[in-house]
């Protein structure tokens, strides 16, 4: 009886008020018809079968940056379930990056020297149709659970791990409490000198960068890097995104961007130049431009390598070198991202 009461009191004390971003995430659009109505595109061909395979998910803040009535809007393209996804195309499969073989502990991927990547959660704030994780069996591959013991034990036992990358899913869908718990323990491991977030939330749910999160960041003793994920300049053209990036920059976070080269979204010189210019205007440096991982259901987004290389050659003539992203692909078994040349 006593223990029941104690557990109940513990639960009560753990209850923290729901943050604005959590409410916005809960209210994100999941019904393709609602999205179509919001954009004045009723009656266009959304694929219910594709949405069944990988359901639609998109926050209102992101929808607000789409052009009304434009079926080919580059932001809409990234989230809209289309019949194209149902095509079976040779060479496009279910684990194109070989994640399943690189698990060294619960939720810990150690593929590259000096850095580990933690699959902290399967949750994202948006479902990107081209994502290689659209088939990732998160529930059996054990995202980092509970109190993070397994991941921390692995990091502690491997002194060559200097950088810890929080990925997912999206690590910023975790609560401030969960993140603070982890960073508190990571702070005790002297060989870890950098922490890195891979997150799309500053772009798709910028309210996530709130006072609570900035406190979590301020308490991290290591250098902090955040690799955001924007594919198109239009994703950056919003006051809430500008505020979020400015707050991160002011908190001393090094900001980098990774993008994916996507047919019909950003496969032009103009789109790439505008993306780089707009990123830097908000203090973000372009880092990687990934060619598409060949994941089943995403073939219609693919830009052939030869075309990608030609495109980047022209981009290089339009921008200072530090605004040209590295064109890379993920190759199973390779010790780093592989340059596409």
Q: Does residue 228 belong to the site contacting ligand PLP (CB under 6 A)?
A: no
Q: Does residue 115 belong to the site contacting ligand PLP (CB under 6 A)?
A: yes
Please report which residue ranges of 87-200 form alpha helices under DSSP H: 138-141, 149-157, 176-186
State which of residues 54, 112, 138, 280 lies at the interface with ligand PLP (CB under 6 A): 112
Q: How far is the CB of 83 from ligand PLP (least distance, A)?
A: 30
Give the DSSP per-residue string, 126-157: S--TT-GGGG--HHHH--S-TT-HHHHHHHHH
User: Given phi > 0 = left and psi -120 to 50 = alpha, else beta, which region is 218?
Assistant: alpha
Residues whose CB is less than 8 angstroms from the CB of residue 149 and which lie 6 or more positions away in sequence, other chains included: none
Q: How far is the CB of 286 from ligand PLP (least distance, A)?
A: 13
- Residue 212, class by beta-carbon neighbours within 10 Å (0-12 exposed, 13-18 middle, 19+ buried)? middle
Q: How far is the CB of 285 from ligand PLP (least distance, A)?
A: 13
How far apart CA 242 and CA 225 sit, in angstroms, is 18
State which of residues 65, 110, 133, 300 lies at the interface with ligand SF4 (CB under 6 A): 133
Number of CB atoms found within 10 A of residue 270's CB: 11
List the interface residues with ligand SF4, window 173-202 (CB under 6 A).
200
The interface region with ligand PLP, picked from 68-76, 112-120, 123-131, 316-324 by CB under 6 A, is 112-120
The interface region with ligand SF4, picked from 28-36, 42-50, 107-115, 121-129 by CB under 6 A, is 121-129
Q: How far is the CB of 303 from ligand SF4 (least distance, A)?
A: 17
- Assigned token pair, 232: 């198109």
Q: Does residue 117 belong to the site contacting ligand PLP (CB under 6 A)?
A: yes
**47/158 with CB nearer ligand SF4:** 47
- Assigned token pair, 214: 């900035």
Residues whose CB is less than 8 angstroms from the CB of residue 165 and which lie 6 or more positions away in sequence, other chains included: 115, 116, 117, 118, 195, 196, 197, 198
Each residue 146-165 as x (binds ligand PLP by CB under 6 A) or -, in order, gives: -------------------x
Contacts with ligand SF4 by CB under 6 A lie at 124, 126-128, 131, 133, 169-170, 200, 229
Contacts with ligand PLP by CB under 6 A lie at 102, 109, 111-112, 115, 117, 165, 336-337
């Amino acid at each position: 009886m006593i223990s029941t009461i104690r557990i109940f009191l513990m639960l009560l004390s753990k209850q923290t008020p729901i943050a604005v971003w959590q409410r916005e995430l809960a209210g994100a659009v999941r019904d393709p018809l609602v999205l179509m109505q919001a954009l004045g595109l009723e009656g266009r061909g959304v694929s219910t079968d594709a949405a069944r395979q990988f359901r639609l998910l998109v926050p209102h803040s992101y929808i607000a940056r789409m052009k009304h009535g434009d079926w080919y809007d580059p932001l809409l393209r990234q989230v809209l379930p289309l019949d194209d996804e149902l095509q079976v195309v040779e060479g496009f499969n279910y684990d194109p990056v070989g994640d399943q073989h690189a698990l060294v502990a619960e939720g810990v991927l150690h593929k590259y020297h000096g850095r580990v990547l933690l699959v902290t959660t399967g949750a994202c704030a948006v479902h990107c149709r081209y994502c290689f994780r659209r088939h990732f069996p998160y529930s059996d591959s054990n995202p980092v659970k509970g109190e993070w013991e397994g991941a921390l034990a692995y990091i502690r036992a491997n002194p060559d791990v200097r950088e810890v990358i929080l990925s997912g899913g999206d690590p910023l869908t975790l609560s401030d409490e969960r993140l603070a718990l982890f960073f508190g323990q990571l702070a005790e491991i002297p060989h870890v000198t950098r922490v890195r977030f891979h997150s799309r939330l500053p772009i798709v749910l910028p309210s996530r960068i709130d006072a609570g999160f900035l406190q979590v960041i301020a308490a991290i003793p290591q250098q902090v890097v955040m690799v955001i994920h924007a594919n198109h300049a239009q994703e950056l053209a919003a006051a809430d995104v500008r505020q979020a990036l400015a707050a991160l920059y002011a908190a001393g976070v090094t900001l980098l961007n990774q993008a994916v080269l996507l047919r019909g979204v950003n496969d032009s010189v103009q789109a790439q130049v505008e993306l780089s210019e707009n990123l830097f205007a908000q203090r973000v440096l372009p880092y990687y431009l990934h060619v598409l991982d060949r994941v089943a259901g995403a073939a219609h987004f693919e830009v052939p390598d030869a075309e990608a290389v030609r495109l980047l050659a022209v981009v290089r003539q339009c921008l200072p070198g530090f605004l040209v992203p590295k064109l890379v692909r993920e190759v199973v078994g390779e010790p780093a991202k592989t340059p596409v040349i």
